[in-house]
Each structure stands twice: as structure tokens, then as C-alpha cells.
């Protein structure tokens, strides 16, 4: 899709009429559609500018949808995943940028093999931070969304995405850092996105059984470590976005190599999701504005300042 041009502004300048902007930083194409997509679609519908930055091209991804498991797809995975990302961005109505690094893959084995040379997770942090700082200074978001220190799950690219995002948040506002990347810009709030919690999974599981529907969550719940904390304990912000769940699902399906439309992603009927859990969850990690917790808006404390 066509990307807009953005003028630079000083680090602490918020001119009258400055548009609200949100940037979501993700590790791979499809992450943006499985983590916070309905929130982004809601904000786009309100006229807020949203940009997704994808750190890697997803080159190491497997074909997870049996219908797409064909030799010609596997041979052209890089190109196909770029096309899928473009379709998803168009569906969500977001701007999109590739940060340009190579997918690290998910090492398997005991001990796991070393990560490939030159991949995102082993690229010097200064290089990847500089690339994200340039994107932040050009787009000028007030809100940045990324992963927590565990990456949401321990994929090396997700953990690196967290490290890069948090360093770029600091350095984008520092006039002594990266002078070649444009004028400094101060992001006002940083959030970690949080996905499935045990409480959410349990609610869906019980609702499916009560409606005489098959639940894919029983085995998952049975194996849940009782000492594992629910992510809801960290959540500070729940954004109501049920009206955009259908858009989220269409964006997910755009990633046809990764998303099987018959999988558990779509096990819970849309009307039950909207009724039982109409929000997406976030943790406020950094804030330079005052807002009262818990929140229902990523721009709480910002709207009256911009």
C-alpha cells in the first residue's frame, strides 16, 4: 500500500492538531494480525494513524496451513510472505515498514543449535536499534506497542524485538544519538501486548462445551503449569475492540501460509468472542504522561495533550 510522507518534529514538540499515531513493532509477518490487530483496526476507524514495523521477513517460517503446503509455495516463501503482509496491512488499514533483518528461525534440539550468522537475533543491537529509531523519528508515534522481556514466548526474534524496541524508545528522543536519522522524537507511552491468558482460555473452553461445541483448549488447560502466572496479573489496559474482530480474522487469513482457517484460531464463534471477551490486553511499560490504571485506551493521558 502507499505509505505517507511524514515531516519531522523536535523531540518534545506536539504542534496543535498533531495527529494521534501508534506504532506496533513485531518480529515476523503475521504477528501483527495475531497480536493486537483488532485494537489497530479500531484506532484506524477512529482516524488514528497506525504503523506496523516488521523486523524480519519471516524467511525461516514453515508452511503451517496444509492447503498451502505445495512445492511452488515453499520455493517462493520470501516473496509470498511479503505479499501476505501487504494484504494484511491493507485489510487493517495500517501503514507498514520492513526493518529489513533476516528471520532467525526457532532453534530446536537439546542443546539447541547456534543461530544462523547474520540473522536478526545475532545482529549487533546498535544496528537494529538505529534502524528502528529512524522509523520512529519519521512516523512520530505517541504510542509504541511491542513484546515483553520474554518476547510473549521465547522465540529469539521476539526477545530481540523487545530489546530493540525498548532501546529505540530511549534513543529516538536523545538528540545526541543517531543524528543521521532525523530530528529526535519522544514516544510518550510504551505497551507490551499480551495474548491468551488462562482465564480467557477457560472462559472460551467452558462456553464451547456449554453450547455443545468441540473445544480445542481442554488438553492445553490440562497441561497448564499451576505455578505459571496468568498474564492478566500484568495487564493494565484492556481495549474494547469487538467490532473489529472480523477485520482481525480477515487479516489473519491473509497470511495463508501461516494460518489454517480450520485451526483453533477460529474455534470460538465470533458472537461468543464478542460477548465473552470483547477486549485486547496490554501492559503499560513506560509512560511520560499521567493516566489512571486500569485503562481502556492506549492513548489515555495523551488525547488531551495532542
Q: Is residue 221 part of a domain?
A: no
- Domain residues for the domain of 181 are 21-196+233-287
Handedness of CA 61, 64, 68, 74 (dihedral sign): positive
Number of domains in the chain: 1
**Is residue 31 marked as binding?**
yes
- Write the DSSP symbol of residue 193: E
- Pairing type for strands 189-194 and 143-146 reads parallel
In a domain, 90, yes or no: yes
Rounded to an integer, what distance in angstroms lies between the CA atom of residue 14 and that of residue 73?
A: 46
Assess if residue 224 is contained within a domain.
Answer: no
pLDDT classification of 13: cutoffs 50, 70, 90: very low
pLDDT for residue 14: 43
Is 292 part of any domain?
Answer: no
Cα–Cα distance, 184 to 18 (Å, whole number): 16
Is 30 annotated as a binding-site member? no
Q: What is the pLDDT of residue 176?
A: 96
In this structure, is residue 207 part of a structural domain? no
Residue 143 and residue 163 in contact, taking contact as beta carbons nearer than 8 Å: no
> Does 147 reside within a domain?
yes
Q: Is the pLDDT of residue 36 over 80?
A: yes
294: in domain: no
What DSSP element (H or E) covers 191?
strand 189-194
**69 among the known binding-site residues?**
no
In this prediction, residue 5 carries a pLDDT of 33
- Give the tens place of pLDDT for each residue, 105-129: 988 877 888 999 999 999 999 999 9
> What is the DSSP secondary structure assignment for residue 220, as one 8-state letter?
H
CB 165 within 8 A of CB 263: no
- Do the domain assignments include residue 78? yes
Of 295, 256, 293, 303, nearest to 68 by C-alpha is 256
What is the predicted pLDDT for the residue at 299? 98
Mean pLDDT of the chain: 91
Report, as an integer, the average pLDDT of 99-105.
Answer: 95
220: left (phi over 0), alpha (psi -120 to 50) or beta: alpha
CATH number at residue 145: 3.40.50.10320
276-301 per-position pLDDT tens digit: 999 999 999 999 999 999 999 999 99
CA distances from 9 to 240, 260, 268, 305 (A): 31, 43, 45, 16
Amino acid at each position: 500500500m502507499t505509505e505517507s510522507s511524514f515531516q519531522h518534529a523536535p523531540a518534545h514538540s506536539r504542534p496543535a492538531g498533531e495527529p494521534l499515531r501508534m506504532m506496533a513493532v513485531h518480529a515476523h509477518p503475521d504477528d501483527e494480525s495475531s497480536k493486537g490487530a483488532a485494537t489497530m483496526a479500531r484506532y484506524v476507524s477512529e482516524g488514528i494513524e497506525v504503523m506496523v514495523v516488521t523486523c524480519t521477513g519471516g524467511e525461516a517460517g514453515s508452511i503451517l496451513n496444509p492447503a498451502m503446503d505445495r512445492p511452488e509455495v515453499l520455493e517462493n516463501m520470501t516473496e509470498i510472505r511479503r505479499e501476505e503482509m501487504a494484504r494484511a496491512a491493507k485489510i487493517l488499514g495500517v501503514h507498514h515498514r520492513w526493518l529489513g533483518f533476516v528471520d532467525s528461525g526457532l532453534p530446536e534440539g537439546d542443546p539447541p543449535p547456534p543461530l544462523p550468522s547474520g540473522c536478526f537475533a545475532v545482529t549487533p543491537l546498535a544496528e537494529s536499534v538505529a534502524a528502528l529509531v529512524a522509523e520512529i523519528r519519521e512516523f512520530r508515534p505517541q504510542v509504541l506497542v511491542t513484546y515483553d522481556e520474554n518476547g510473549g514466548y521465547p522465540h529469539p526474534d521476539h526477545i530481540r524485538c523487545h530489546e530493540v524496541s525498548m532501546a529505540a524508545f530511549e534513543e529516538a528522543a536523545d538528540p545526541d544519538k543517531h543524528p543521521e536519522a532525523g530530528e529526535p522524537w519522544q514516544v510518550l507511552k510504551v505497551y507490551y501486548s499480551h495474548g491468551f491468558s488462562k482465564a480467557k482460555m477457560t472462559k472460551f473452553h467452558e462456553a464451547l462445551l456449554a453450547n455443545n461445541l468441540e473445544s480445542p483448549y481442554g488438553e492445553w488447560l490440562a497441561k497448564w503449569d499451576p505455578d505459571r502466572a496468568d498474564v492478566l496479573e500484568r495487564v493494565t489496559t484492556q481495549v474494547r475492540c469487538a467490532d473489529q474482530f472480523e477485520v482481525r480474522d480477515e487479516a489473519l487469513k491473509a497470511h495463508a501460509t501461516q494460518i489454517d482457517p480450520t485451526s483453533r484460531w477460529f474455534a470460538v464463534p465470533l458472537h461468543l468472542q464478542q460477548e465473552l471477551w470483547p477486549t485486547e490486553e496490554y501492559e503499560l511499560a513506560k509512560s511520560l504522561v499521567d493516566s489512571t490504571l486500569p485503562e481502556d485506551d492506549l492513548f489515555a493521558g495523551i488525547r488531551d495533550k495532542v
